[in-house]
Amino acid sequence: MIERCENNGGIKEGQNYEIWHSPILSGVQFKDLSPENRLLYLASIGHMAPSTHNTQPWAFSLDPSSNSMNLYLDHCRVLPASDVRGRQANLSLGGVLANIKIAANFLGLSCECSIPFLKIEDKTQRYIHAINIKFNEAESSSNEELFRAVFSRRVNRSIYDTTRVIPEGIISRISEAASDGIAIHLIKKGDLRIPRIADVQARADNHVANNPHFARELGDWLQENGTESGLGMPGDTFNMTDEQSVHTKRALLGKEPMLADDIAAFSRGSQRGIETAGLVALLTTTENSPKQWFMGGEVLQKIGLFLTANNISYTVHAGLAEVPIVQQSLSLVFGTIKSPLIFLRAGYPRPDLPVPPHSPRLPLNEVLI
């Protein structure tokens, strides 16, 4: 359809990384595409969104005759242990919408979206309709840096550069991403609450590693570094060597002993990561509904893209908002009574540490229905 892009460096070999070679089109190049290829391009941009455990719990149906697409939640890829209510999956879907809107607006389309409405408890059907997006011709209205960030964004779970401070101007722009019912609570570097949150995170990680259901699930989705799978999280995106990925996966699956050191290393990693953050943020909602989880996912992804566009790394810690025993501590630290939705940390990448590679994606045709 469109020529493969060879200029987007740092992409692993293999079909499962092919999406990251998608060309970054200009508005003119995009308009030259057929209606069907335009929708395919926008769907592939949606498919670059982050998702819990890289489950990609979404599907698209395209309708070139009406210039619209439908986005669905794929029930088969909602995590049964760590995402019982589908909150993380809905957050992930919201990120897809953010990517598509940013791209469409940049490429000269406006988006008319139906209100997200997900009856996630209905498990009789695999695909649950989330939203309809109709595209109309419009002036280009989104900034190019954000659009470009869609292609380079990835989570960076390393520790961050503690010598650099995130400028106030950037911090206040992050707050602007808040939307109806979704609040963003920010805490900046130097605030003594950050080490307290790091402590709470270590407790959440311990809980996950010691809970056989959570651990097995994580083991299922943690992949060897050279995986050919389009799903899941390769160990090197957690800074693991080949050997560590294989061992940690087997240990989480109960096939090798999980040593106290493994658990400690696992929880120390994110604890230390939070301690080095230039900024941490908690997203909260006024109501705990699938619609707000979805909208929160859109806000989360807008923040992720804005940070990426400003060369700031970030990662997400779902456990902090998802594990009940730590949820309350987190609300207390942030001083909020609203429902915690998702937590993220951000900071400048350390120049001496490699930026982790992109994670794989399923071939686009596997998420088209």
Ligand X SMILES: Cc1cc2nc3c(=O)[nH]c(=O)nc-3n(C[C@H](O)[C@H](O)[C@H](O)COP(=O)(O)O)c2cc1C
88 binds ligand X (CB under 6 A): yes
Contacts of residue 35, Cβ cutoff 8 Å, sequence gap at least 6: 64, 65, 67
316 binds ligand X (CB under 6 A): yes
Q: Do 64 and 36 contact (CB within 8 A), yes or no?
A: yes
Q: Which stretch binds ligand X (CB under 6 A): 25-33, 86-94, 105-113, 210-218?
A: 86-94
The residue type of 143 is N
Minimum Å gap between C-beta 321 and ligand X is 9
Q: How many residues bind ligand X (CB under 6 A)?
A: 20
Distance CA 359, CA 356 (A): 9
H or E segment at 221?
helix 212-221
Q: Do 305 and 275 contact (CB within 8 A), yes or no?
A: no
Distance CA 4, CA 10 (A): 15
Q: Which stretch binds ligand X (CB under 6 A): 17-25, 57-65, 91-99, 122-130?
A: 91-99
Decide whether 52 or 267 has the Cβ nearer to ligand X: 52
Minimum Å gap between C-beta 154 and ligand X is 3
Residues 130-159 that bind ligand X (CB under 6 A): 154-155, 157
Copy the structure tokens of residue 158.
């390393």
Q: Which stretch binds ligand X (CB under 6 A): 50-58, 121-129, 179-187, 327-335?
A: 50-58
Decide whether 166 or 318 has the Cβ nearer to ligand X: 318
68 binds ligand X (CB under 6 A): no
Distance CA 329, CA 165 (A): 26
Site string for ligand X, 347-366 (x = CB under 6 A): ------------x-------
Q: Which stretch binds ligand X (CB under 6 A): 106-114, 176-184, 250-258, 314-322?
A: 314-322
Q: Please select the residue that binds ligand X; options are 116, 319, 340, 347, rule is CB under 6 A.
A: 319
Using alpha carbons, select from 59, 50, 35 the residue that is nearest to residue 134. Answer: 35
Copy the structure tokens of residue 229.
């799978």
Q: Please select the residue that binds ligand X; options are 22, 52, 152, 245, rule is CB under 6 A.
A: 52
Minimum Å gap between C-beta 304 and ligand X is 8
Q: Do 25 and 2 contact (CB within 8 A), yes or no?
A: yes
Distance CA 20, CA 208 (A): 31
Minimum Å gap between C-beta 98 and ligand X is 11
Q: Do 238 and 306 contact (CB within 8 A), yes or no?
A: no
Decide whether 90 or 105 has the Cβ nearer to ligand X: 90
Distance CA 233, CA 325 (A): 26
Where do contacts with ligand X occur on this chain (CB under 6 A)? 50-54, 88, 91-92, 95, 154-155, 157, 233, 315-319, 342, 359
